[in-house]
Amino acid sequence: MYKKIAVLLLLISSSIYAQNSEIKGKIVDQNNIPILGANIFWQSTSIGTTSDENGLFTIKKSPETNSLLISYIGFNTQKIEVLDSKELNVKLIEVTTLNEVTVSKTLKSTRNSYTAVTNLQTMGQKELLKAACCNLSESFSTNPSIDVNFSDAVTGNKQIKMLGLTSPYILMTEENIPAIRGASQAYGLSFVPGTWVESIQITKGAGSVINGYESISGQINYEILKPINDIPFFVNAYGSMDGRFELNTHFNQKYSDKLSSTLFIHGNSRQTKNDMNNDGFLDNPIGKQVNILNRWQYNDVEKGIVSFFNVRYMKDDKQSGQVAFNPNIDKFTTNAWGSEIATEKVELSNKTGYVFPDMPYQSIGFQNSFQMNKQDSYFGLNQYNINQKSYYSNLIFNSIISNTKNKFATGINFTYDDYNENVVLNFAKDFSRIDNSVGAFFEYTYDNLDNFSLVAGARVDNHNRLGTFVTPRLHMRYNPWKNSVLRASVGRGKRAANIFAENQQLFASSRSFAILNNDGKLYGLNPEIAWNYGMSFSQSFKVFGMDSEIALDYYVTDFQNQAVVDLDYSPQQVLFYNLKGKSFANSLQAEFSIEPIKHLNVKSAYKFYDVQTQYTTEQLQRALQAKHRFFTNVAFETHIKDKGQQWKFDVTYNWLGEQRLPNTASNLPQYRLEEYATSFSVFNAQVTRTFSSVFEVYVGGENIGNYRQNNAIVGVDNPFGAYFDSSMVYGPIFGQMYYAGLRFKIK
C-alpha cells in the first residue's frame, strides 16, 4: 500500500521535474570568445533569457516549441531544434556587412500634437531658452498663441493674453494645481523663474474639467523640473542694460534610487533708475525678489508610487513712479507720485500618484496645496492690500471601461479661499470674504486607436457665491487624411472676477472707481459666465522636400455675463458692472512653419482678433487690443560638435496693428489721446554660444528697432491732477535693451 503511494509521489515529482527541466548552454563568436547579452528565446513565445559574461545561459524548456532562437546585434540569428537536454554550444556568425543607417531628426522646440484631442502645444526647454529672461510671463514671447502685453508704465507687469482675452480668463496651473489665480493673478507669472520650468503645455479652448470650472479661453500648465531627473548643480546669471540682474541656482541631491530633492534659489534685483523718455517717471520699477523652492520627489517604480512635496517662499518688493520719489519721505504725500508693491508668498503642496501594479491603466492621484499670497501696496494716494489664503485639494481616479479605448477620470475637489482685501480709493472699503467650493467631475475619453478621439467631461460644483452649477466640456479630434488633424471643442466656464486684483494697473491713475451693481455676491456683481467654441486644423507636408506645417484655428468666446471694466464712459472714471448686451472675443490664427534647411526653423503667424463688449455708451472694440497681429520667429542652430560646442540664433518679429485707445475726448486738448494708436513692430534677437555641454553664454536684445510709445502716461505733468493715467500702454516704453547671461551645469 505505502509502496504504491511512494510510486505515485515519485511519478508526480518526476513529472514536475520534467516540466521544470532546463536547457543550459554557452554562446561564443567565431573566435570562441563568449558573447555577453545575447538573446535566447523559444520561437513564438515570450520565454527568453540573455547570456552572462561567460556566454552562459539557462532557459526552461517550453512545452510549446522546440525551436530555440539565439540572436545578438551584429550577428546572424541562429535557430536550434532542441531535442534532448544536453548542454548546447552555440557559435554565432558575425554579419559580414552591417548596414548602418543613421536616422536623425531634430526635436522641435514647440510641438503641436497630432494625436491629442485638445488643441495642445508643448513648449519644451529648448523653446524656453529662446527667451533668456527671466520668468514665466516672458517665456511666451516666442510663441504665437500667446500675446505678451507691454508692461504698464507703473507696475512693470507683463500681462499675457490668449484668444484676445487677458490672463484671468486662462486657467493657469502648476503641475495641474491651480496656481496663478485670485490675489496673485496680476503678478503671479513673474513669481515663477524661467529656469525652474521644465515644460509648458498650452491648451487653447475650453480645456479639461478635471482642474476646475474657471478656464474660459484656455489652460496653461507648467511643469517644474523633477528632482529625479535633475543635474546636481545649475547656475544661471543674467544682467541687462536696464539694470536688471538675476541669479538662479539649483542644487540637486539624490538620497537613494527612490528619494531625491532639488533646492531652487532665485534672486533678482534692479536698482538703477531709468527714465529714457524723460517724463520724470521710471520706465520700469526698481526692486528685488527672493524666491526659494525646495522640492522633494519619492519614486517607487515597483509599487507604482510617485510623490512630490514642495515648500516655497517668495518675497518681492517693487518701487515705481516719479524718479524723485523717496518712499521714506514722500509716501502718501503729494510731494511726488510713487508706488510700492510688496508681495510675500508661501506655498506648501503635495501630490501623490499610485498606479495599480497589475493594471497600468488604473491610477489614483491626490493633490493638496496650501498657498498664502499677501500683497501690500499703494499707488500715489490709492491703497490696495490683499491677503489670500487658499487650500486646494483634488482626488482623481483614472481607469477604463472594458478596454483602454474607453478611459475615464473621475474625482472630487475642494477649494477654500480666505481673502482679506482692503481698498482705499475714492472710497475706502473692506472686501474681505471667504469663498469655498466643492465639486465632482467625470471625464470620458474615447479613442478608436486610429483617426478619431473624443473627450467628454462634466462637473458639478457648489460654490458659496457662484451657486450650484454644471460645467460641460467636449473635445473631438479627427485625422481626415495623412499628417492632418481636425479638432473641435465646446465648453462652458464660470468664474468670480476679482475686479481689483485683476485690474491693478488702474490704481495708477486719477480715475475714480464705481461699481454700478450691488445685488450680486461678488463686489455686488454676478459671476462671469462664458461659452467657448473652437475649431482647428493642422496639416504637415513637404514643400520641395522641406518639412512644413500649416495650422489654422478659429475660436469664439461668448459671454453670457461679464464683469465689464468700462474705461470709456469717462477718462476720469472706471466703472464695473454686469454685462448688458453682447460681449465676445473672436480669434483667428493662421500659422505656417517651415524648415528650409536642416537646423533652420521659420514660424510665422497672422492673428485676427475681434473683441467687442457692450459698454454703457455703445458696443466697442476692446481697448488696447490690436485687431491684426503678425508674428515671425526664425531660429537657427549649428551642428553640435564633439564637445558640445554650438551656436544658436533666434530672432522674433512682432507687428501689431492699430489699437483702440480708451476714450479721452472730454479731456483738455493736451491730455487727449488719438482714437487709435498707430501700428508698430518690435524685434527681439538672441545669440547663444555653447562652449561645452556644461557651459554656455548668451547675449540678446529686446526692441532692437527702438520703438517707443509717446505719452505713455497721460497728465504726467500733474500726477495728482484729474487727468493722470498710466494704464493706457499699448507699446514699449523702454527703448532698445541688451542683455547677457551665462549658464553653467555640473552633470
| Rounded Cα gap, residues 697 and 235, in angstroms | 12
Nearer to other proteins, 44 or 462 (CB): 44
Nearer to other proteins, 70 or 136 (CB): 70
Nearer to other proteins, 5 or 101 (CB): 5
> What does DSSP say about strands 484-495 and 467-478: parallel, antiparallel, or unpaired?
antiparallel
Q: Hey, which residues between 207 and 246 contact other proteins (CB under 8 A)?
A: none
| Rounded Cα gap, residues 174 and 136, in angstroms | 11
Nearer to other proteins, 416 or 446 (CB): 446
Does the N-terminal peptide bond of residue 133 adopt cis geometry, omega within 30 degrees of 0? no
Q: Hey, which residues between 398 and 437 contact other proteins (CB under 8 A)?
A: 400, 402-405
Contacting other proteins (CB under 8 A), which of 1, 107, 329, 597?
A: 1
Least distance CB 78 / other proteins (angstroms): 13
Using an 8 Å Cβ cutoff, are 117 and 126 in contact? no
Told to check if 100 binds other proteins by CB under 8 A, we report no
| Rounded Cα gap, residues 516 and 710, in angstroms | 33
Contacting other proteins (CB under 8 A), which of 6, 7, 8, 640?
A: 8
Least distance CB 700 / other proteins (angstroms): 40
Contacting other proteins (CB under 8 A), which of 11, 12, 95, 543?
A: 12
Give the interface size with other proteins as a residue count (CB under 8 A). 21
3-state secondary structure 388-453: EEEEEEEEEEEEEECEEEEEEEEEEEEEEEEEEEEEECCCEEECCEEEEEEEEEEEEEEECCCCEE
* Strand intervals (E) in 562-599: 563-566, 573-578, 583-595
CB atoms within 10 A of CB 581: 12
594 closest CA partner among 650, 630, 634: 634
Least distance CB 450 / other proteins (angstroms): 5
Per-residue contact flags (x/-) with other proteins for residues 347 to 366, judged by CB under 8 A: -----------xxxx-----
Per-residue contact flags (x/-) with other proteins for residues 430 to 459, judged by CB under 8 A: -------------------xx---------
Q: Hey, which residues between 41 and 70 contact other proteins (CB under 8 A)?
A: 43-46, 64-65
Told to check if 5 binds other proteins by CB under 8 A, we report yes
Least distance CB 44 / other proteins (angstroms): 5
Coil, helix or strand at residue 656: strand
| Rounded Cα gap, residues 495 and 416, in angstroms | 14
| Rounded Cα gap, residues 289 and 266, in angstroms | 8
Nearer to other proteins, 482 or 639 (CB): 482
Using an 8 Å Cβ cutoff, are 40 and 51 in contact? yes
Told to check if 102 binds other proteins by CB under 8 A, we report no
Told to check if 20 binds other proteins by CB under 8 A, we report no
Contacts of 703 (CB under 8 A, 6+ apart): 682, 683, 684, 732, 734, 735, 736, 737
Q: Hey, which residues between 650 and 669 contact other proteins (CB under 8 A)?
A: none
| Rounded Cα gap, residues 714 and 3, in angstroms | 111
Nearer to other proteins, 39 or 385 (CB): 39
Which of the stretches 1-9, 326-334, 562-570, 583-591 binds other proteins when contact is defined by CB under 8 A? 1-9
Q: Is 135 exposed, middle or buried (0-12, 13-18, 19+ CB in 10 A)?
A: buried
Task: Point out which residues bind other proteins (CB under 8 A).
Answer: 1, 5, 8, 12, 43-46, 64-65, 358-361, 400, 402-405, 449-450
